[in-house]
Amino acid sequence: MKLLITGGGTGGHVNPGLAIAKYVQSRRADAEVRFAGTSTGIESRLVPREGYQLYTIDVRGLKRSFSPSAIAYNIATLQKSLTATSKAKKILKEYRPDVVVGCGGYASFPMVRAAQELHIPTVLLEVNAFPGVVTKACAKKADRVLICFENTRKLLENRPNIHLTGAPVRGEIIFVRREDARRKLGLADGEKLVVSFWGSMGALYMNRHMAGFIKLESEHDAFRHIHATGTAAYKWLPDSVRELGVDLDKHPNIELREYIYDMADVMAAADLVICRAGAATLGELCVLGKPSIIVPSPYVAENHQEKNARALEQNGACKVITEPECTPEKLYAAVTELLADDEKLAEMGRCAKKMAIVDASEKIYQHILEAARR
């Protein structure tokens, strides 16, 4: 079986695709998987790193503005989209996949649209509660639309091709032993590890807060901290920390990374996770049974991240701090309070575990097989 997975722009669109690829190959020895995306998105680094071929297409997203400059930009973008779809058709005719799986992001649109025009089966995965532009545009002609939240069904007009599966979880994250991971990271017995990330692109507002957070933790060095800055903030956050008087060379317990490539080990070793509320991330937190502090992004349609996060909070699995109320001091206080209460951390982890959809990858795999048979 030949599979082409497309999606990109952010890790939230790429990592689910990688999880699907690995699961399909674990179930079928004859499965060949390739990817399609852009040469500039995070997929250009993550996909080759995992050993998969990546077809690149020149495409970009639209600007949500009616200013003259935005209108001119969008006209040029639509022209690029036509060229990108033409290139996608050439790739599809050469590779001849049995199914094209779209994982979202503007990078997935040309390949999904081209596949539908060529009558190649398409399966769309929508990991967020509020469907993205590509899902809305391509859902009607898709063979399957796989969703992670029941309320997404109504937003896609209750079409009969919609199926609730949950978000796929990377297999390597599930099977890493905590003890092995902590040994790899050099953690001492009893040393607490906090892991924080705001997504592959970073978040300007929250990364500015992280500078203040790092200043506070440097005064006590009470725990180990790994923070992924994202691509943009990696260029300036170390300088911001230095301007606050913190010499990171003197605080080896604080580690800034652009991206956490060994996420399986880092998540397995973590005692507490600080993050946004993307569905793929929350799915992994639940499967791993990790306690978390979630600061939902307010810059998403229908405020779906806060809705995602509140569902976990209502079940005792996390603490939610909204971005407007989040300060370095409040975030640091919440972290230290939780790290001082092992019983509370354990209970949050158990609550998260109860919310896990453990068979999401198998459900997605079965839908791909059914689409391929068509």
**Residue positions in the annotated binding site for UDP-N-acetyl-alpha-D-glucosamine?**
10-12, 128, 170, 200, 260, 305
Tell me which H or E stretch contains 88.
helix 68-95
Q: What is the dihedral of CA 147, 206, 213, 255, to 10 degrees?
A: 70
Distances (CA, A) of 266 to 17, 75, 251: 20, 43, 19
Spatial contact of 12 and 6, defined as CB atoms under 8 Å apart: no
For residue 77, list its beta bridge partners.
none
β strands within 40-171, DSSP E: 54-56, 99-102, 122-126, 144-147, 162-164
Positions at the binding site: 10-12, 128, 170, 200, 260, 305
Per the listing, tokens 């639309």 go with: 145
Cβ-count burial of 49 within 10 angstroms (0-12 exposed, 13-18 middle, 19+ buried)? exposed
Can you list the positions of beta strands (E) in 171-303?
Answer: 193-197, 224-228, 254-257, 272-275, 292-294
Q: How far lies 142's CA from each of 21, 237, 368, in Å?
A: 19, 42, 12
Coil, helix or strand at residue 325: coil
